Amino acid sequence: MKRFDGFMFGANLGGWLSQYDDDSKEHFDTFITEEDIEKIKKAGFDHVRVPVDYVIIETEDGAPIDEGYEYIANCIKWCRNNGLNMVLDLHKCYGYSFDPLDTGASKEKFFYDKDLQERFYKTWETIAERFSGDADMLAFELLNEVVSPKVVEEWNEISRKCSLAIRKYAPVSYIIIGGVCYNSVTSVPLLGKPIDDKIVYNFHCYEPFIFTHQRAFWVENMPKDLVVEYPGSLDEYRDKSRELSPDLADAINRGEITEIGPSYFERIFVPAVETAERENVNLYCGEYGVIELADTESAKRWFKDIHSVFDKYHIGHAVWNYKEKDFGDTVQKCFF
């Protein structure tokens, strides 16, 4: 399979321009600086993934916010100074949020509302026009985590139209597209045909979920006293996953899974790998990681196993999260 050179080992900068707890200027000016980019480079990473919420770069009526774009431009400059590439990920767009904590936001309206979609295309045209000159090191990720499994065809058409809109300004930039069910690896075969050879298929992987998200406060029915080590027995993982919703425990219960270890990842990645090979596109895992409530040594073993499969199939990847956001402490202990 094609190797996603330049985007093989990245760190997410979540909590800076997206999913932040503090919307002050001081936060945006100080949460990530060039010193952080230098630190990431020294730790052996080749790129960063930068999640950005639309409210950072445009007003509610769609007018560009230059100060917000300046944060992105600064990060591009810092990455250039340190020999890193960058993924610009539109984490939340006008009219859509994946976040389960955004309880009042519809997970489907965007995919049926033409006005919201036109706004989405305009946002991306503005981004592409501003950063078209950075195609040598900057990739565009259309949207983070489409939640609903019901909007496969709608999302495929939206992503196709958006990619064509971007191409008017950035004809050779990588465009990264993920699928439904929170960018599940199982949704990769459902993605639309690539419009050209610079389309990248994307998925996220927090499997086995009962390990990577143990005691996560935002997960419905997650036991607050749960402790899971890695690797454990398959029977233990399945038993502890019973309280989770079926979609969160889906992978662990599949018949083809025989053990917890590298073969677990290999088996669940197979359909995505085969699809990427058939369409001759790069494959990218934009998020993966282990909650900081997990045992650190277990987390290290988990990273070793998933990395072995990423490397085997030349799958680019960006760990969640560089710092904070419930996963950062694990990343700091394992990679810095």
- Catalytic annotation, residues: 145, 287
Q: Which helix (H) or strand (E) holds 48?
A: strand 47-53
Q: Which two tokens stand for residue 28?
A: 């945006």
Q: What is the CA radius of gyration of the chain?
A: 19
CA-based nearest residue to 312, from 281, 273, 276: 273
Asked if residues 88 and 140 have their Cβ atoms less than 8 Å apart, the reply is yes
The answer for residues whose C-beta is within 8 angstroms of residue 2's C-beta and 6 or more apart is: 276, 280, 281, 282, 283, 314
Burial zone of 280 (CB within 10 Å; 0-12 exposed, 13-18 middle, 19+ buried): exposed
Do residues 203 and 223 touch, judged by C-beta distance below 8 A?
Answer: no
Q: Is 101 exposed, middle or buried (0-12, 13-18, 19+ CB in 10 A)?
A: exposed
The beta-strand segments (E) located in the chain are: 10-12, 47-53, 85-92, 138-141, 175-178, 199-205, 282-288, 316-319
State residue 49 phi and psi, 5-degree precision: -110, 125
What six digits make up the tokens of 161? 């139209």
Other CB atoms within 10 A of residue 26 CB: 8
* ∠ CA 208-212-209, rounded to 5°: 35
**Do residues 229 and 295 make contact, with C-beta atoms less than 8 angstroms apart?**
yes
* Contact predicate 297/218, CB 8 Å: no
Query: Exposed (0-12), middle (13-18) or buried (19+): which is 278, by Cβ within 10 Å?
Result: exposed
In the DSSP assignment, the letter for residue 193 is: P
